[in-house]
Amino acid sequence: MFIALLTIGVAMTTLFTSCSSNEDSPATGSEQGPTADGLKGTWYCAYEATGSAKSEDGSDATINYNLVVDIYRFESSTGGSFFRCFFIDDEESPVLTQGILGYGAFNYSLSKGKVSMALMNNFNQEYPQAWEAGYADNTLQAKGVDGQNLELVLADEEMESVLNNLLEQNGSASEKYVVDNYKPKGVDHSQWMKQLADSRLIADLSLPASHDAVTAEGWTPELMGIFSEMMAKTQDLTINEQLKIGMRVFDLRPELVVGADSNYELRCSHGISQTKLLVSDFFVLMKQFLATNPTEFCIVTIDLSVTSKMKEWAEQFNALISSNQFRSLFADFKPRLTVGEMRGHVLLLSKKNYAEKPIGGYCYNWTDDIELEKQMKGHITDADGVETPLWVQDYWGKATRAGKDDAVVRMLEAAAKRDMNAEKPAWVINFPSAYFGGPFSDSYRENAVSANKVTSDWLNTHNGSVGIIFMDFGGMDKSPSYTGYQLYETGGMQLVDMVIKQNFKQ
């Protein structure tokens, strides 16, 4: 059944033979060695092995497997991802584990026929820190689950599709929670800003914001998308869906990546995970929404995680936002910017410099420290070099989430006490969003269960503007886990509603 699907008509024994190596160790190439370009793509090997593996379907069940499939995806010249699936012969549903080399993203280097890989995400995993494979004569040799030597096959387009389906089958066949069933129904906050006075300061508003906003737009390539769903998803609603339910601030990661034509392009990403949405298309969505709803405005924050070619990135990003297509969309930053000045526009606030002068503002001294005093040392610089105070609570990525909820509340309280009559009132960005223990999509969900509720509860009993509130799974009161076997009470629609209502309290 499964093996027949995997081999597409090739006999099981033939497949296993093609994946087995009689070499004692991974092969090495010539002194000069092959290039990383030849590695790019998906490599796989199906082989016989026995043992037990813990399921990732949320049941904590184990299976006694007798078949294993290893999948290496080399997405770029320096990074990729690994998957190991365990099977019982003649059963269609694999078990994908978080055990030793279950799955993970890695950086790698290639030298003299040796591929050296080091995991990027190994927080509480049982993974080794690093391992090696051999690459020579267009073959990849690696170690299997029991240390056996394997010779991996480069997947063609048809096999890419099969492997993608394989990973999507992960878990048992019992009923799963489906994201679409938990999306908000009948909610339309497309024009909630219509009620705001034109004279109201932007700094004096409370604005619902989407962390890594584009992660519900789908992933590219397909197989890398399986990994991205596990590791990089922070939203269940598309950009258009988020705009409709009231989201007005968006965290954008416009990474510079190699496109299908081998030229560089700006693509909305989350770290190494690339979405299907180009940055230009993201701004088209903004432009279309604001043309239809001219009472509204948006703020877009800009950050990068993995782009190394900063000069090329800056040139492309600056050219895009300065183009005739988009320049009129963007507002200039100033400390006492008003709603009337912003309607129909987008304000860009970038953590990365792309030109001598920003279109919008540059953010400096952005910190992930837990201490409020350090969080209040940032500033926004406008095109004239004027600095405006910026307070940022963005505590994340530690071993445990101890202190996160308190940090969120401290910034809420500080924001509500600001002097809005000041010449340059502080702008506030507060992140309930975070992951702890490991960068998994479900880690973002676990944090949202607590942090989103804490934020909503505080807003329910306090007045005063609180600034920009970046959340995960905004608009989703319940969000299914990656596997679909667990449902998280993320409270994302409630939080959006509470942030919007904060603007109209007496």
Contact 429, 390 (CB under 8 A): yes
> Between 99 and 247, whose confidence is greater?
247
Reported as a pLDDT band with limits 50, 70 and 90, residue 55 is low
pLDDT given for residue 285 in this prediction: 99
pLDDT, tens only, 265-301: 999 999 889 999 999 999 999 999 999 999 999 999 9
Domains of the chain (ranges, CATH numbers): 2-168 (2.40.128), 179-504 (3.20.20.190)
Tens of pLDDT, residue by residue over 318-345, are: 999 999 999 999 999 999 999 999 999 9
Q: Is the pLDDT of residue 206 over 90?
A: yes
Q: Determine which of 26-30, 165-169, 192-196, 314-318 has the lowest per-residue pLDDT on average.
A: 26-30
CA separation (Å) from 234 to 179, 251, 397, 443, 444?
A: 13, 11, 14, 9, 6
Mean pLDDT within 340-351: 99
DSSP per-residue codes, 169-199: T-S-SS----GGGGS-SS---TTGGGGS-TT
pLDDT above 70 (res 33):
no
Placement of tokens 């597409």 in the chain: 8
Q: What's the mean pLDDT when you consider all of the chain?
A: 86
Rg from Cα positions in the chain: 24
pLDDT at 264 over 80: yes
Distance CA 89, CA 366 (A): 52
Residue 13 has pLDDT above 70, yes or no: no
pLDDT of residue 35: 56
Please give the backbone phi and psi of residue 447, each rounded to the nearest 5 degrees, phi first. -65, -40
Task: Name residue 132's beta-bridge partners.
Answer: 116
Q: Lowest-pLDDT range, 96-105, 144-153, 325-334, 452-461?
A: 96-105
Query: How many other CB atoms are there within 10 angstroms of residue 178's CB atom?
Result: 10
* Strands (DSSP E) found in 271-309: 273-278, 298-302
Q: Place 141 in a pLDDT band, splitting at 50, 70 and 90.
A: very high
Q: Please give the structure tokens belonging to residue 13.
A: 């024994």
- Strands 249-252 vs 62-74: parallel, antiparallel or unpaired: unpaired
pLDDT higher than 70, residue 12: no
Whole-model pTM: value is 0.79
Q: Residues 309-323: what's their mean pLDDT?
A: 97
Q: What local confidence, expressed as pLDDT, does residue 87 receive?
A: 75
8 A C-beta contact, residue 168 and residue 155: no
pLDDT of residue 422: 98
Q: Does pLDDT of 6 surpass 80? A: no
End-to-end CA distance of the chain: 65
pLDDT (mean) for 457-470:
98
pLDDT at 457 over 70: yes
Distance CA 264, CA 320 (A): 13
Query: What pLDDT, on a 0 to 100 scale, did the predictor assign at position 86?
Result: 78
Least confident interval from 161-175, 240-254, 478-492: 161-175
pLDDT band at 145 (very low <50, low <70, confident <90, very high): confident
Euclidean distance between CA atoms 211 and 216, whole angstroms = 11
Distance (Å, rounded) from C-alpha 26 to C-alpha 137?
A: 13
Question: Residue 161 corresponds to which amino acid?
Answer: S
pLDDT at residue 56 in the model: 55
Question: Would the pLDDT of 440 be above 90?
Answer: no
What are the tens digits of pLDDT across the range 97-123?
443 345 667 788 888 889 998 876 544
Average pLDDT over residues 248-269: 91
> What CA–CA distance (Å, rounded) separates 46 from 20?
9
- State pLDDT tens for residues 389-427: 999 999 998 888 999 999 999 999 999 999 999 999 999
Contact between residue 337 and residue 361 where contact means Cβ atoms under 8 Å apart: no
Q: How many residues does the chain have?
A: 506
Distance from C-alpha of 19 to C-alpha of 151, rounded to nearest angstrom:
5
Return the beta strands (E) in 191-306 as ranges.
206-210, 219-220, 249-252, 254-258, 264-270, 273-278, 298-302
pLDDT at 501 > cutoff 70: yes
Whether residue 171 contacts residue 57, with contact meaning beta carbons closer than 8 Å, is answered with yes
- The mean per-residue pLDDT over the stretch 1-6 comes to 43
Scanning the structure block, which residue is given the tokens 């004239």? 384
Q: How far is CA 12 from CA 148, 360, 463, in A?
A: 18, 60, 67
Give me the residues paired with residue 471 across strands: 210
Using a pLDDT cut of 90, give the percent of the chain over it.
Answer: 59
Identify the pLDDT of residue 66: 84
3-class DSSP state of 326: coil
Report how far residue 311's alpha carbon sits from residue 354's, in angstroms, rounded to the nearest whole number: 8
